[in-house]
Structure 1
């Protein structure tokens, strides 16, 4: 059981690694749709204020917030919802099977973001710094 306790102390850092890598990859979806980087989408950049454009803003902006670990829980909740909507609107109608409908990434993002809703950001986040500052402030008063 000692090895489990040893691994447990790294849990906040493993969670941070999952959060950071997820955010970086997720942001790429937004940069592709908003800026055509690293390459524009096959059907071109979405029209401003269209559903795809709003999704791209959420992917880029929400991804930045998740990357920084700032407002992680509410942002992750919104992004999990975005990915659920994306799956059911755009992927599920193509096929029942995620590997055939291209929705496997949307499902994984949805559940990783749901995990962050319940666990928080882990280590190395602005949320944890903010929480420590609020705790110190409360102790001083």
Structure 2
């Protein structure tokens, strides 16, 4: 599969962008009511844990989508998703397939990888010469 190695920077960027957009949707649903979901029919009260999660999802997702401050933002979001898994999902059942925690785990480790690897070749960090 060595023929794909020349595309690793671009593919990392695509992974970052798509993960960020999917993650941002959680923040827009919580804070802006878009897209409308039954779970977030009412916006969370400001300064609550769910409100802070929405802010991190929205702002952190936007920063990741453009690849700005990729490593620190991805590290913070990875930790947030680890906490979300252990607080919200793990108490429901042992196995992630039973507690619906697969997405939290996937975001956690995807963001952890981005914290180590950076934003890829299509990122603002890369454009301005940061080690993003």
Q: Distance in 2 between matches of 1:118 and 1:13?
A: 16
Paired residues for 1:124-135 under 5 Å: 124-131=122-129
Q: Which runs of no fewer than 5 residues in structure 2 stay unpaired?
A: none
- Cα shift at 1:65: 0.3
Quick check: 1:14 aligned with 2:11?
A: yes
Quick check: 1:75 aligned with 2:73?
A: yes
Q: Distance in 2 between matches of 1:39 and 1:102?
A: 20
Quick check: 1:114 aligned with 2:121?
A: no
Q: Rg bigger for which structure?
A: 1
Q: Which runs of no fewer than 5 residues in structure 1 stay unpaired?
A: 135-141
Going by fraction, where is helix more abundant, 1 or 2? 1
Please state whether the residue corresponding to 1:9 is helix, strand or coil: helix
Q: When the two structures are superposed, what TM-score results if normalisation uses the length of structure 2? A: 0.94
Quick check: 1:29 aligned with 2:26?
A: yes
- Cα shift at 1:45: 1.8
User: Which deviates more, 43-52 or 119-128?
Assistant: 43-52
Q: Distance in 2 between matches of 1:26 and 1:123?
A: 21
Q: Distance in 2 between matches of 1:128 and 1:41?
A: 39
Residue from 51, 54, 63 that aligns with 1:56: 54
* Partner in structure 2 of residue 86 of structure 1: 84
CA contact (8 A) 1:32 1:41 kept: no
CA contact (8 A) 1:87 1:106 kept: yes
- Cα shift at 1:40: 3.6
* Partner in structure 2 of residue 100 of structure 1: 98
